[in-house]
Amino acid sequence: VNDNPLPYVLTLSGTLKSPKISFRPPFLMLMPVPLDVETKAVVTIIPQDFIRPSRISVKLPELELPDGTRTCVQFLEGQDIVLSSDGTANELTCLICFKSSKPISFLREMLFIDQEEN
């Protein structure tokens, strides 16, 4: 290297996987219940290919009406994705609730994001 004027070329290549999450069940339909009775379902969030700890939050279109109609989302064991020493991440459990005093039917998309809005 010292006496050779020719530069050495070093080529690096690699693959970076984007973090993603999957859900169990992949589709959620809350069961019909009598008026003013809360319906609930549990969703498991399965993180994949995360390289650092992250915090998951949910964006949900507002559906809270003056009559008490509301949707709630609770993370039962926290919102933090924690990586273990072998590179795997913990699963998160999320409780979805809905209650209405009037008959209603709707379809809403829930958006789960990390602190970087991914």
pLDDT at 2: 66
- What does the DSSP assignment read for 54-103? EE-EEE------TTS-EEEEEEBTBSEE-B-TTS-B--EEEEEEEE-SS-
Contact 43, 28 (CB under 8 A): yes
Q: How confident is the model at residue 14 (pLDDT cuts 50, 70, 90)?
A: confident
Record the tokens describing residue 65, joined without a space. Answer: 């009406």
- Beta bridge partner(s), residue 70: 99
**Is the pLDDT assigned to residue 117 strictly greater than 60?**
yes
Per-residue pLDDT reduced to its tens digit, 100-116: 888 888 787 888 888 88
The order of strands in the sheet holding 39-48 is 20-24, 39-48, 92-99, 70-75
pLDDT at 65: 65
pTM: 0.75
CA gap 5, 111 in Å, rounded: 56
CA gap 57, 88 in Å, rounded: 20
Domain ranges of the chain: 20-102
Per-residue pLDDT reduced to its tens digit, 62-81: 666 666 677 788 999 999 99
Per-residue pLDDT reduced to its tens digit, 81-98: 998 888 788 999 999 988
